């Protein structure tokens, strides 16, 4: 069920995938947690990584960054094996559950600029182009007017946007975000979704771990779901909606089996209405299989 967003006539056709995991296993202290993970993200593609708490999403994305133990399988970033990737700044990363400490006094501009340190030799000062990139990154996340604010005075949602801008400041080819919308209120989720939509339109490749798929409606090209350290689904948002509908029908059938034996019209069931409505498959809650 391999699907890519790169169309036949795309100039990216033939380009190596931005990310390619082949039977990858990552873990801690030399012991694997994820096993046999196959995951490929084409350049320019936006992939959502879903799955219950503890299923291995962070272990996998942190593995891609060399932050968890790489135990088996191959990991390639932009066609280069991870261990040979000299310039890690080609990967931008927004970690999970991370806001900025309120005890450190720094401005939005300073925090965003730290995103450039890894890609600049220690002896070279920021150039005018570097400074322009910082301003541009702040603008992309809608914080251009807060560049000189103390980060401690920003809300949690605004701080998440500062961290996205910091990841953008090194002009990464691939942006990996671990739950960028977690703990962000509905209004700010809309703002963040707008940021992600803007990045997608710019052609930034994104791998986004999330529990809030609805917030990313229309942005995501492909959905990968993990369960207990394995990939349990990989397909388009439409296929995912069908998959969820099938799971929930199966659960319903199990539920009603003992007292609803005359109900035999399962094979005549229409596909889930949400798929057929103009609103698209990403509308509404997706975690409704347990009802
Ligand atoms: N630093 C660590 N050392 C040892 N085990 C860890 C470490 N970090 C995570 N784990 C374990 O790895 C497993 C997978 O955790 P992971 O953080 O990848 O889950 P997740 O899918 O990101 O969950 P969540 O949705 O809660 O963020 C868990 O059982 C967790 O306890
Ligand atoms: Mg996690």
Would you give per-residue pLDDT tens digits along the chain (291 residues)?
444 444 444 555 678 999 999 999 999 999 999 999 999 999 999 999 999 999 999 999 999 988 999 999 999 999 999 888 877 778 899 988 766 666 668 999 999 998 888 777 667 788 888 999 999 999 988 899 999 999 989 888 888 889 999 999 988 889 999 998 877 778 878 888 888 998 899 889 999 999 888 888 899 999 999 999 999 999 999 999 999 999 889 888 876 655 444 444 444 443 333 333 333 344 444 443 333
Q: Are strands 230-235 and 46-50 parallel, antiparallel or unpaired?
A: unpaired
Residue 164 CA to ligand 1 center (angstroms) comes to: 22
Tell me the three state secondary structure of residue 136: helix
**Is 216 within a domain?**
yes
Say if ligand 1 is within 6 A of residue 93 CB.
Answer: no
Residues with CB under 5 Å of ion ligand 2 are 57-58, 96
Cβ proximity of 37 and 58 under 8 Å: no
Question: Domain of 165: which CATH number?
Answer: 3.40.50.300
Cβ proximity of 135 and 147 under 8 Å: yes
**Is 156 within a domain?**
yes
DSSP 209-277: E-S-GGGGTTT-SEEEEEETTEEEEEE-HHHHHHHHHHHHHHHHHHHHTTT-TT---GGGPPPPHHHHS
**Is 291 within a domain?**
no
Counting beta carbons within 10 angstroms of the beta carbon of residue 217, is it exposed (0 to 12), middle (13 to 18) or buried (19 or more)? middle
Tell me the three state secondary structure of residue 175: strand
Cβ proximity of 65 and 167 under 8 Å: no
Domain, as residue range, for 226: 19-235
Say if ligand 1 is within 6 A of residue 228 CB.
Answer: no
What is the model's pLDDT at position 256? 62
Atom of ligand 1 nearest to the CA of 55: 21
Cα distance between residue 241 and residue 222, in whole Å: 12
Atom of ligand 1 nearest to the CA of 97: 27
**Is 72 within a domain?**
yes
Residues whose CB falls within 8 Å of the CB of residue 241, separated by 6 or more in sequence, listed in order: 272, 274, 275, 281, 282, 286
Q: For ligand 1, atom 3, which residue shows the shortest CA distance?
A: 28
Say if ligand 1 is within 6 A of residue 30 CB.
Answer: no
Our CA dihedral for 243, 25, 174, 4, rounded to 10 degrees, sits at: -40
Q: For ligand 1, atom 24, which residue shows the shortest CA distance?
A: 53
**Is 226 within a domain?**
yes
Ligand closest in space to the Cα of 59:
1
| Closest CA relative to residue 113, chosen from 158, 151, 152 | 151
**Is 240 within a domain?**
no
Residue 261 CA to ligand 2 center (angstroms) comes to: 41
Ligand closest in space to the Cα of 54:
1
**Is 208 within a domain?**
yes
Residue 78 CA to ligand 1 center (angstroms) comes to: 26
Domain count, the chain: 1
**Is 27 within a domain?**
yes
């Amino acid at each position: 069920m391999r699907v890519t967003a790169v169309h036949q006539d795309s100039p990216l056709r033939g380009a190596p995938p931005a990310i390619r995991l082949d039977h990858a296993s990552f873990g801690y202290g030399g012991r694997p947690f994820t096993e046999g993970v196959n995951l490929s993200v084409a350049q320019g593609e936006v992939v959502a990584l879903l799955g219950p708490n503890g299923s291995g999403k962070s272990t996998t994305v942190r593995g891609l960054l060399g932050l968890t133990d790489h135990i088996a399988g191959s990991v390639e970033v932009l066609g280069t094996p991870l261990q040979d990737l000299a310039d890690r700044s080609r990967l931008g990363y927004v970690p999970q559950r991370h806001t900025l400490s309120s005890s450190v006094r720094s401005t939005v501009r300073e925090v965003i600029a730290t995103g450039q340190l890894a890609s600049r030799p220690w002896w070279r000062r920021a150039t005018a182009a570097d400074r322009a990139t910082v301003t541009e990154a702040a603008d992309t996340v809608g914080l251009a007017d807060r560049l000189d604010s103390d980060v401690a005075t920003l809300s949690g949602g605004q701080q998440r946007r500062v961290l996205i801008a910091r990841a953008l400041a090194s002009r990464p080819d691939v942006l990996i975000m671990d739950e960028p919308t977690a703990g962000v209120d509905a209004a700010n989720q809309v703002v963040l979704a707008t940021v992600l939509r803007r990045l997608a339109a710019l052609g930034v490749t994104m791998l986004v771990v999330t529990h809030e798929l609805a917030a990313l409606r229309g942005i995501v090209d492909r959905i990968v779901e993990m369960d207990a350290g394995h990939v349990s689904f990989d397909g388009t948002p439409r296929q995912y909606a069908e998959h969820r509908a099938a799971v929930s029908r199966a659960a319903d059938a199990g539920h009603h089996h003992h007292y609803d034996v005359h109900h035999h019209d399962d094979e005549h069931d229409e596909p889930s209405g949400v798929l057929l409505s103009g609103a698209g498959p990403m509308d509404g809650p997706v975690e409704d299989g347990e009802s």
